[in-house]
């Protein structure tokens, strides 16, 4: 008999037995996810995701609005870095062409920063559902979205800490998206030619790892599999999401 994650060491856990749902509010879910994630996933196993997703999306959008000036600055720095590399590799690309591209990309990025949270949740939920369906664990896409939504809650703390950082640092020195991150990439030169290493170090962000662990717990609870297996699936999802960095 396995020990149920998140309970006393003596409590037995049979993955084939569903937990009895508990009555709770959204506020309780958003608090409990930090110290009792297993309980949250168990009681929301058969719930919808829209209410949670709406709250997460609105809060994330508010932080995006509050930090828009610095995010625009980071976009400009990253775009100039990429433009310089592109022009060096292809002499036919002119400064005017890059300026036009910058205006278009800036408008697109400005729009997506407000809807980035729900888009990320829906996209990665597809990955969660796809990976898990090839195992004995069975979760629906709706459950996958709920898992991703609840796993995204700690990122709201990340957004808050990012905003606080901006109040106490010289934002003129912010020249990379990693400058404000909580990862080893924060301490690396943003102009390093080893972009793959920089990107992988960025994936070791504290809140990315936190979210990954919550995804694993959610898979274990809703998929009725041992916690270790759920975390293994979450690790695979983290790895697959990192593959574009190897290009």
Q: Where are the beta strands (DSSP E) in 50-154?
A: none
List the structure tokens of 167: 């109040």
**Which range in 146-155, 176-185, 190-199 is most confidently predicted, on average pLDDT?**
146-155
User: Does residue 92 fall inside a structural domain?
Assistant: no
User: Does residue 74 fall inside a structural domain?
Assistant: no
User: Does residue 47 fall inside a structural domain?
Assistant: yes
What pLDDT score does 6 carry? 44
User: Does residue 93 fall inside a structural domain?
Assistant: no
Name the one residue in this structure whose structure tokens are 């009555």.
23
What pLDDT score does 247 carry? 62
List the structure tokens of 177: 């998206």
User: Does residue 41 fall inside a structural domain?
Assistant: yes
User: Does residue 53 fall inside a structural domain?
Assistant: yes
Three-class SS state of 235: helix
pLDDT in tens, 24-62: 788 999 999 999 999 999 999 988 899 999 999 999 999
Burial environment of residue 44 by CB neighbours within 10 A (0 to 12, 13 to 18, 19 or more) = buried
What residues make up the domain containing 42?
19-66+114-246
Among 237, 209, 210, residue whose Cα is nearest residue 223: 237
Q: Where are the beta strands (DSSP E) in the chain?
A: 2-3, 12-13
144-159: average pLDDT: 96
Total tally of structural domains belonging to the chain: 1
Question: Residue 19: pLDDT band by 50, 70, 90 thresholds?
Answer: very low
Residue of higher predicted confidence among 7 and 83 = 83
| Rounded Cα distance, 156 and 14, in Å | 33
Per DSSP, what are the bridge partners of residue 13? 2
């Amino acid at each position: 008999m396995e020990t149920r994650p998140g309970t006393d060491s003596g409590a037995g856990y049979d993955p084939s037995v569903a937990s009895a749902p508990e009555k709770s509010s959204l506020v309780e879910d958003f608090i409990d996810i930090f110290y009792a994630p297993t309980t949250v996933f168990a009681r929301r196993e058969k719930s919808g995701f829209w209410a949670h997703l709406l709250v997460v999306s609105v809060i994330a959008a508010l932080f995006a609005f509050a930090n828009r000036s610095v995010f625009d600055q980071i976009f400009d720095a990253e775009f100039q870095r990429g433009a310089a590399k592109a022009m060096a590799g292809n002499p036919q690309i002119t400064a005017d062409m890059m300026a036009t591209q910058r205006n278009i990309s800036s408008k697109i990025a400005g729009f997506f920063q407000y809807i980035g949270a729900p888009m990320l949740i829906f996209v990665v939920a597809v990955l969660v559902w796809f990976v898990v369906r090839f195992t004995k664990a069975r979760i629906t896409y709706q459950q996958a979205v709920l898992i991703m939504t609840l796993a995204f809650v700690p990122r709201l703390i990340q957004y808050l800490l990012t905003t606080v950082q901006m109040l106490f640092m010289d934002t003129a020195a912010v020249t990379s998206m990693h400058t404000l991150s909580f990862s080893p990439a924060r301490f690396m030169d943003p102009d390093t030619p080893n972009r793959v290493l920089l990107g992988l170090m960025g994936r070791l962000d504290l809140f990315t790892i936190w979210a990954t662990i919550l995804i694993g717990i959610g898979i274990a609870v809703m998929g009725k599999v041992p916690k270790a297996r759920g975390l293994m699936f979450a690790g695979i999802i983290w790895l697959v999401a990192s593959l574009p960095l190897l290009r």
